[in-house]
Structure 1
Amino acid sequence: MKEKIEILLSKNKLFLGIGGSILFVILGIWLFLSADSFQQHSFRLLRNPMVIKGIGVLGILFFGATGIFGFKKLFDKKVGLIIDSSGITDNSNASSVGLIEWKDITDIETKQFMSTKFLLINVSNPEKYIGKAKSGMKAKLMRSNMKIYGTPLSITSNTLKYDFGKLEQLIHTEFEQNKNVG
């Protein structure tokens, strides 16, 4: 590779994500506060106020965390993704750990969960990257990815100013050119 490719974070996508998170936190609060009003629901499980309150609390926690992450990213001056001769420097999502070296990457796969496509970056030593996590929560998130997908590392274009199809093609091309270097 001759030059460094920098892909910026998308402020528009971050605003949309924050807005969605706020709406789901409000929904979670509503569920928690109105759990007793579901007594007549036709689905038996939803008649239990503790289940409704639990769903509300989980919604508040999960979407509150994604909203906080999006808000922090909104003011982040770092580039979302850098691709150069060293590897891929990821700063695009909650489980990003910085530089993923080409020499460590064994394979790159595309997966889809619901409507979100993402790249799984398989590495020879996953523990090296889990060890780079700056917080216990990030390490737990990475271990969860490891259990589900077999790798702690994933990249999506959800917060990037870049189309996923183009990102997928770019990373595959650069991987092929750099996998035997270094």
Structure 2
Amino acid sequence: MSDIIFKKNRPKYFFFILVFLILIISLSYFGILWMLNPSKYVSVFTRNEVIVSLVGILAILGALLLSLIIIKSISNRNFFIRINDEGLFLGILQYTNNLIYWKDITGIEIVEINKIKNILVYINNIEYYKNREKGLGKFFFISNTKKYGTPYVINTNALSAKIDDITEVMIENWEKFK
């Protein structure tokens, strides 16, 4: 079987990057403003300077976290989904181990999360995949597992194919190779 590859849709991908960059710049700008002169921004919602300073620090930390995610995403040369007889390669996720073997998959479904359709890939050997993760990827891995029952939550908005087509091909190949 030849590999089936779903590549990124460049205009959509660059749009997402642009939105994240605007968010990073805004968070940095307001975070610095609130940290440098907190007394100027005290209001009904932020009753004292300490709260304004803390919000400024959180804004800066959020901007740094988003910057890290953007840098990892831009430097990711494997931003695609590849389906072959070995398994499912999910290059669009920020995990260290992007290959899920067919034998480990227990289910694939489309779920709407915050009004956005996502593909959930359920696996039976979560500990094996969790032990191969590190750093921020491990944090997201554990967080997604707690929230959705699986670490593999795939948002396909930046890909060139529709979510229904991608899911259909995944399920067909999973049933064929499991």
Q: For each residue in 1:81-125, what CA deviation from the matched residue of structure 2 results, as whole angstroms up to 9, or x when unmatched? A: 222222221121334631112221112233444354422221111
1:74, 1:114 → 2: CA distance?
25
CA RMSD after TM alignment = 2.7
> What amino acid is aligned across from residue 16 of structure 1 in structure 2?
V
Give percent identity, aligned residues only. 24
2:84 maps to what in 1?
A: 84
> Is 1:64 the equivalent of 2:60?
no
Q: Using a 3 Å threshold, how does the CA distance of structure 1 residues 60 and 83 change in structure 2: closer, same or farther?
A: farther
> Is 1:162 the equivalent of 2:165?
no
Equivalences for 1:71-150 in 2 at 5 Å?
71-95=71-95, 97-133=97-133, 135-150=134-149
Q: For each residue in 1:123-153, what CA deviation from the matched residue of structure 2 results, as whole angstroms up to 9, or x when unmatched? A: 11111221221x2321122111111111122
Q: How many residues align?
A: 175
Q: Using a 3 Å threshold, how does the CA distance of structure 1 residues 58 and 96 change in structure 2: closer, same or farther?
A: farther
Runs of 4+ in 1 over 6 A off after TM superposition: none
Stretch moving more, 30-39 or 116-125: 30-39
TM-score by length of 1: 0.77
1:169, 1:106 → 2: CA distance?
20
Secondary structure of 1:47's counterpart equals coil
Q: Using a 3 Å threshold, how does the CA distance of structure 1 residues 56 and 97 change in structure 2: closer, same or farther?
A: farther
> What amino acid is aligned across from residue 68 of structure 2 in structure 1?
I
Structure 1: gaps (5+ residues): none
1:111, 1:25 → 2: CA distance?
33
Corresponding residue to 1:14 among 14, 17, 20:
17
Q: Using a 3 Å threshold, how does the CA distance of structure 1 residues 55 and 172 change in structure 2: closer, same or farther?
A: farther
2:52 maps to what in 1?
A: 52
Secondary structure of 2:71's counterpart equals helix
TM-score by length of 2: 0.78
